[in-house]
Amino acid sequence: MKIIENSIEGIKEAAEILTSNGIVAFPTETVYGLGANAFSKEAVTKLYEIKRRPSFNPLIIHVSSYDMAKEYGIFNYTAEKLVKKYWPGPLTIIVKKKKSKVVEAATAKLETIALRCPRNIIARKLIRELEKPIAAPSANKSGKLTCTSPGDVFAKLNNSIDALLNGGDAELGLESTVVDCSVEKPCIHRLGNITLDEISSCLEYKIAFSLQSEKQIKSPGQLLKHYSPDAKLLLNQNKPNRGDIFLSFGPHPKEIDGLTLTESKNLEEAAKNLFTFLHILDRMSEAKGGVPIKVAPIPSIGVGAAINDRLLRAVAK
C-alpha cells in the first residue's frame, strides 16, 4: 500500500489510482473510508472482496455537492430539508435511486441509494478530481473495529489496498448518521454525531430510530455483530480490578491499565477517541494473553446514544 500525503499532487495521484480501478483509503470527518470509483464494476467488486462484505449490504456513495447527489437520487422535501441543514457533513441520506452510471453492485441492487457529501475537504477534493462519485464503506474488515486514524488503517489494511491518502485523525470518530427518506415515514437507521433530537428538530417532528426486521433488510450492517475488537468487551463496568484493562469515562482510576475516553466527561471527545482507543486496548489485551476490555458506563445522551449503539453491537453475538 502506498501512503500518499495530502497535497494537490497527492490528491491527483489518489484520483488516478481510483480511475484505474484501485482502492484508496481516504479521510472523512467521521471515519476513514475505503474508496472505489462508483462507476467501476471491477473496483466495486474488489472492494466487497477486500472488506469481506456480503453483497447484499449496500455502500454509501460519496459526492462533492448536493447538485452532484441529485444526479443519482431523487430528493423529496424531507431529504432536501436535511441536506440543506447538514451537508457537507456527517449525514447519509437514503433516497430513491435514479438510473445512472453508479454500478448496481454498489447499491446491492436496491431501488434506493445512500448518498453523503462529507465535510472533510480532502474527501471532497478527491471526488472533484475523480469527477465521479466514490463508493466507500468504513475502512475496516466487515464486522471489525472501524479505523479513524491513518495508523490504524495501515495496520489493518496495509496488504489489501492500493493506497492511503493521509488526512490525519478523523475529526468526529463515529460513522455518519443514516436517515432513510425513501419511505413514507422517514427514520434513522444509524445513530451518529448528528443526534436523533437534532434530526427531529430540523424536521419539526419526532423521528424514530428503526432497526429493520430481518425480512426487509436494508441496512444489514445494523443487524449484525459489528465494530468488534478481537478482545472480549464487558460493558457498564464500574469497578475495575488490578490486572484489568479498562476504558474509562472521566478520570482514569489509579493503577489500572487502560485509557480514559475523556477526562472531562465530554461526549464528543469520547466519540472521537472510541475506535482509536479500542484499537490500542485490543493490542494491549493481545499482549496480556487475551484479558477482556472492561468499559465504563457511558450516558446515552446526545452523541452518547451513538457511542452506546456501537458498543452494544461490538458485544453482540
Beta-strand relationship, 33-37 and 112-116: unpaired
Which of ligand TXA, Mg ion, none binds 124 (CB below 5-8 Å, type-dependent)? none
C-beta of 138 vs 177, nearer to Mg ion? 138
Burial state string for 201-218 with b = 16 or more CB within 10 A and e = fewer than 16: ebbeeebeebeeeeeebb
Give every CB contact of residue 299 below 8 A, 6+ residues apart in sequence: 267
* 28 is a site residue for Mg ion (CB under 5 A): no
User: Which pairing describes strands 245-248 and 163-166: parallel, antiparallel, or unpaired?
Assistant: unpaired
Question: Nearer Cβ to ligand TXA, position 141 or 265?
Answer: 141
Interatomic CA distance for residues 58 and 71, integer angstroms = 18
Task: Confirm or reject binding of residue 210 to ligand TXA (CB under 6 A).
Answer: no
* Binding status of residue 58 toward ligand TXA by CB under 6 A: yes
CB of 105 to Mg ion, least distance (A): 17
**Rounded CA gap, 27 and 61, in Å?**
15
Per DSSP bridges, beta strands 60-62 and 112-116 are parallel
Residue 158 CB, nearest approach to ligand TXA (Å): 18
Restricting to residues 134-153, name those near Mg ion by CB under 5 A.
138
Nearer to Mg ion, 248 or 308 (CB): 308
Distance CA 295, CA 259 (A): 10
Spell out, one character per residue from 99 to 138, where the chain touches ligand TXA: x when CB under 6 A holds, - when not. --------x--x-xxx-x-------------------xxx
57 is a contact residue toward ligand TXA (CB under 6 A): yes
Site stretch for ligand TXA (CB under 6 A), options 63-71, 171-179, 275-283, 289-297 = 171-179
Binding positions for Mg ion, rule: CB under 5 A: 138
